[in-house]
Amino acid sequence: MVNSNFLGLYIHIPFCSSKCAYCDFFSMRGNESRFSDYTEIVKKRIKFFSEKYGDRTVDTIYFGGGTPSIIGAERITDIIKTIKESFPVSEVCEITVEANPECVSQGFDFNILKNEGVNRLSLGMQTAVSEELSLLGRNHTNKDVMNAVANAKNSGISNISLDIMLGIPNQSELSLKETIDFCTGLDITHISSYILKIEENTLFWKRKDKYNFPDEDCQANLYLEACRLLEENGFMQYEISNFSKPGFESRHNLKYWNMENYLGIGPAAHSFIDGKRFNYDRSTEKFKNNIWNRDDDCSDIETYIMLKLRLKSGLNFDELKEHFGISVSQRFLTKAKAFQNAGYCNLQDSSVISLTPKGFLLSNSIIVELLETL
């Protein structure tokens, strides 16, 4: 189904300086000693997995978190050096590091990253509106974002992504436009736009009655407006939450949706290799002891369809038949045409189905209905 000779690596850095009001990711506070200890554990795991998968060429590396930049550029490049010692790494490998915008003022040096091959930066901006930043519990300013982008570009890292959030308390289409105008004025290449979900065990969940969260209709309008404004500014949607200038799609993230091989290293990290999934628990102790969970075969047709329909390119029926030996039924096509008539999808020559922005908002229910027709 996919070229098994290539492998994406995800490195989870679970440390943050503080917990944002909306965050349910696995993260914790740390100090220099814990950062160094964790880096050594990650390097050991890389070497461990290289014994099994070391014949595969790594063509994407992604440092996520948490806040990877918090451990310092030297530790990140130390991990990259270990990857290069343990795996063959493509000369055109995409290497992404997530960072908070205030990292520059804290002494983070992008030149160190660039010198070790990092060529993509993802900044957790969320919004350019100061009141919204305060509600989210973010510690940076717009000036921090501008400084981080400028410093990254000066180091030679020009492929830069910004995260923005939709559905922040009191957010409006006007304040959303302010954020998008700010982003597009920075001459970046990629924007990830996520709808805020109120997860249990977060500050927002505990205080949800105290905030004015946009309702579902308002969230939908914000999402559709974001899609419109981003496209107007040359950012083409390629996945439910991701937009890029042409040719700057995240190659690593596309591995997830295209069911290509990727290896996740760190607590709460997931892997998918040769049709098998496994993951580490949200536990640094279990990660330290290299204890992970195995899943059964997850390369089934339902997973394939679900992931393909997250992409703007959609589901190609010929590829589906090639991979699984199954043709879509007439019931499937009838249902797809009904969704097309309602504006939720496009059906191209009865050979490709792709969701529209309006359809992405209802993707879960649409996919369930389509799967029932197989």
pLDDT band (50, 70, 90) for residue 125: very high
CATH number at residue 172: 3.80.30.20
Kindly tell me if the per-residue pLDDT of 298 is higher than 60: no
pTM tops 0.75:
yes
Kindly tell me if the per-residue pLDDT of 203 is higher than 90: no
DSSP 373: T
Query: What confidence tens digit (pLDDT) does each residue in 225-279 have?
Result: 999 999 999 999 999 999 999 999 999 999 999 999 999 999 999 999 998 899 9
The helix-helix angle for 73-86 and 32-53 (nearest 10°) equals 20
Whether 59 contacts 250, CB under 8 Å: no
Greatest mean pLDDT range, 3-7, 154-158, 166-170, 326-330: 154-158
Show the DSSP H helices in the chain as ranges.
Answer: 32-53, 73-86, 110-115, 130-136, 142-155, 173-184, 203-206, 216-232, 251-257, 284-288, 301-308, 317-324, 330-341, 357-360, 363-371
Domain count for the chain: 2
Q: Is residue 194 part of a domain?
A: yes
Peptide bond into 117 cis (omega under 30): no
pLDDT band (50, 70, 90) for residue 20: low
Residue 244 shares a structural domain with residue 136: yes
Kindly tell me if the per-residue pLDDT of 23 is higher than 70: no
Residue 110 shares a structural domain with residue 193: yes
Kindly tell me if the per-residue pLDDT of 115 is higher than 70: yes
Whether 172 contacts 213, CB under 8 Å: no
Whether 113 contacts 155, CB under 8 Å: yes
Residue 210 shares a structural domain with residue 111: yes
pLDDT of residue 16: 84
Q: Is residue 315 part of a domain?
A: yes
Nearest-angstrom CA–CA distance, 189 and 234? 9
Kindly tell me if the per-residue pLDDT of 293 is higher than 80: yes
Q: Is residue 267 part of a domain?
A: no
User: Dihedral of CA 87/91/94/96: which sign?
Assistant: positive
Q: Is residue 288 part of a domain?
A: no
pLDDT band (50, 70, 90) for residue 194: very high
pLDDT band (50, 70, 90) for residue 294: confident
Q: Six-digit token pair at 146?
A: 């501008």
Kindly tell me if the per-residue pLDDT of 361 is higher than 70: yes
Give the containing element (helix H, strand E) for 236: strand 236-239
Residue 320 shares a structural domain with residue 216: no
Q: How many other CB atoms are there within 10 angstroms of residue 334's CB atom?
A: 11
pLDDT of residue 58: 98
Q: Is residue 282 part of a domain?
A: no
- Provide DSSP, 241-300: TEEESTT---HHHHHHHTT--EEEESTT-EEEETTEEEEE-S-HHHHHTT-EEEEEE---
Tell me which of 297 and 137 has the higher pLDDT: 137
Q: Is residue 133 part of a domain?
A: yes
CATH number at residue 319: 1.10.10
| Residues spanned by the domain of 349 | 311-374
pLDDT of residue 3: 61
Q: Is residue 278 part of a domain?
A: no
What percent of the chain is predicted at pLDDT more than 70? 95
Query: Residue range 314-321: average pLDDT?
Result: 95
Nearest-angstrom CA–CA distance, 250 and 242? 9
In 3D space, the residue among 236, 268, 269, 241 whose CA is nearest the CA of residue 257 turns out to be 241
pLDDT of residue 17: 76
pLDDT of residue 207: 72
Query: What confidence tens digit (pLDDT) does each residue in 51-72 have?
Result: 999 999 999 999 998 899 999 9
